Amino acid sequence: MSKTRNRLRRKGARRRAKDVAREAARNLMIRALRHADLHHVFLGTSCIVGFVLPDASDGDVFVEAGRGLLVSLAGSRPDFDFDILHWDATNPKGRSKPSDSAMRESLASHARVFGFAASADEFPAFFRLAADSIVPLGRVDLAALKGAFYAVLGRAPADTVLAEALDVPLAALGAVIRPGRSPEQAIRRLQRLRAAECNPPDRRPAREHPTLDDLHGLGEAAEWGRALAADLADYRAGRIRWSEVDRGVLVSGPTGTGKTTFARALARTCEVPIHIHSLARWQARGYLNDLLKAMRAAFEAAKAEAPCILFLDELDSFGDREALTGHNEQYCREVVNGLLECLDGVEGREGVVVVGATNLPEKIDAALLRPGRLDRHIRIPLPDPEARAGILRHHLGDALPGADLSEISARLEGASGAVIEQVVRDARRRARAARRELTAEDLLAALPERIRLSDAAHWRACIHEAGHAVVGHLLGGESGQVPFEAKVFREVGPDGTGGETGFARAPGFDRTRASYLAEITMLLAGLAAEEVVLGEHAGGGGGGERSDLHQATVLAAGMETSMGLGEGLVYLTSRRDEDVLAWLRGDPLLRRRVGEALERCSRRAKAILRERRGALEELARALAERGRVNAAEIGAAVGPAPPDGGRSAFARCGERVGNRP
């Protein structure tokens, strides 16, 4: 084998090793071998070792870890041969156990053999006689977990945080902590697992929760909920059949918009119990089999109280089977399949309405959204000024009757319902500390810290959002999405976000290479507008997840690594953001191609904006004066899109749209 091929093999092995579960399992195997005085294994000499698994459901993790350990011991030695035997009592994939003849042949023809079984008794007698030793594997402890974090993420959280994950199954741990995520993201996921384990399902009486009429800013969700309440009343009275009732809905929206509160209010409005669950809560029960048992038990408990609401929080955490890759693919696939079985059920789930909630609807497995499951999708937006005033009034209760809340509502622009509730809670605490009644000044003092933008920074934000609006309007037919509103804030929160432009995507649009490039062009149009009008762009288009640059980079890299829309057709990784970015960080050639694609899209955006500079500045002035513009105003300023979707402006720059690098 050539030196180049050796380097590629080692690079590929390192890439495959980036898995927390497998790294932790490898650490446990090395420790077990050392404790058993089997040091000759590390020297690459002949060996036969049986490992007793701490839990049968983690067998696949240890098998992969054992294979990786033997590969690393082999190095580039061509004479290093080995085999792996696994006596799997659970047979989750329908595999057959190694037969006695296959085992004897393996032991005779390979110098190094690792065997895995759930107990020492499950190893055949011949294997036990031939083995150097049968070694018990311990469960994950702090040292093993810390080593895995360093191997995968480069650093580890504090020991007190790591201690929260010691009882998490290896397979579940690998699904939660993935390459491309920061240790801080991993910490949040571990904390959710611990919280789910420590907190029992919410079973408070429905009367303690508000009704849908008490809530504000829910829009379509409230209308659907009232219609469901009427249908359930008719179903209980026998006037309609269960087949005529909506059996599931997906509710999406930004963090803090009140998806869980909506579910509780829905249950009270319908006058039915609510069962609140999440994947994290079920994962906290233990290994895969325990998780699936907890999932089925949750649905059985809901059916026993039917009619009722079963609420599934963070539905995107289940994953999309089409995007699954790597070691945890089988684990995640079985979890999704288990949920599908519960949603369908051999005996049905009559009387159980399932409400799924997510911040990321695009990451939901398509099978979950088919008819009879969660076949309706409702979005809960951030509250508008009227809704913010209503939310304030709801949480104030009897306090400050008749007070004008318009100023406070205006200063909460862009705030979610959860933020508004926190403002009222902090204001009440301030009044209690002063031993007096709540006042409007307490509310003003409790408002989140806001920074008033300078005239220059505010004008830049107006130019930026106007750029998105102009290019988005002109490329809507090509990208499959059009801007429905652009907003700019004079006062911003600590994150410094000065505005946003909302896009509505056409359902069922044919996504081609050209449409993805058009979407990237729209994402980069804000920065392009700053350059066209102001001469240079600032850093507001990047700096965080879901920023313009983050989304554009992930799309451009995903075209190359996942969708076959780049230079070649090779599938390299899933479309998950963290997987795409992890590959991008490790591949200089990919970074160059992605950078070139982003540059071409940026040049196209600037060419369009130079031609439509009058419309760009007109919309920017409108944003500076009123703070927002709607779809009709955008269309009136920009005019109809040209038949060529703005290609002519780009062509005059000597470029072709959609050309391959």
User: Which residues are part of the catalytic machinery?
Assistant: 465
Q: Which of helix, strand or coil describes residue 576?
A: coil
Q: Which of 242, 377, 395 lies closest to 308, judged by CA?
A: 242
Letter for the amino acid at 6? Answer: N
Is the distance from CB of 256 to CB of 423 less than 8 angstroms? Answer: no
Is the distance from CB of 28 to CB of 138 less than 8 angstroms? Answer: yes
DSSP 8-state secondary structure symbol assigned to residue 58: G
Burial label, 211 (beta-carbon count in 10 A; 0-12, 13-18, 19+)? buried
Letter for the amino acid at 49? Answer: V
φ/ψ of residue 257, rounded to 5? -80, 0
C-alpha span between 482 and 478 (Å, rounded) = 10
φ/ψ of residue 51, rounded to 5? -110, 130
Give DSSP secondary structure letters for 154-192: SS---HHHHGGGTTS-HHHHHHHS-TTS-HHHHHHHHHH
C-alpha span between 331 and 338 (Å, rounded) = 11
DSSP 8-state secondary structure symbol assigned to residue 571: -
Count of CB atoms situated within 10 Å of the CB of 661: 11
Is the distance from CB of 156 to CB of 20 less than 8 angstroms? Answer: no
Give DSSP secondary structure letters for 589-621: HHHHHHHHHHHHHHHHHHHHHHHTHHHHHHHHH
Buried/exposed 648-657: b ≥16 CB within 10 Å, e otherwise: ebbeeeeeeb
C-alpha span between 124 and 120 (Å, rounded) = 9
C-alpha span between 393 and 389 (Å, rounded) = 6
Burial label, 164 (beta-carbon count in 10 A; 0-12, 13-18, 19+)? middle
Is the distance from CB of 278 to CB of 314 less than 8 angstroms? Answer: yes
- In the structure encoding, which two tokens stand for residue 33, read together? 């071998």
Is the distance from CB of 527 to CB of 533 less than 8 angstroms? Answer: no
- In the structure encoding, which two tokens stand for residue 208, read together? 């303690």
- In the structure encoding, which two tokens stand for residue 463, read together? 């130019």
Give DSSP secondary structure letters for 96-152: PPPPHHHHHHHHHH-SEEEEEESSGGGS-HHHHHH-SEEEEPPPP-HHHHHHHHHHH
DSSP 8-state secondary structure symbol assigned to residue 524: T
Spell out the residues 6+ positions from residue 618 whose beta carbon is closer than 8 angstroms to its own. Answer: 637
DSSP 8-state secondary structure symbol assigned to residue 210: P
Task: Kindly report whether the peptide bond that precedes residue 307 is cis, defined as omega within 30 degrees of 0.
Answer: yes
Is the distance from CB of 135 to CB of 31 less than 8 angstroms? Answer: no
- Give me the sheet containing 82-87, strands edge to edge: 82-87, 112-117, 47-52, 133-136
- Measure the N-to-C terminal CA separation of the chain; round to a whole number of Å: 32
φ/ψ of residue 503, rounded to 5? -120, 140
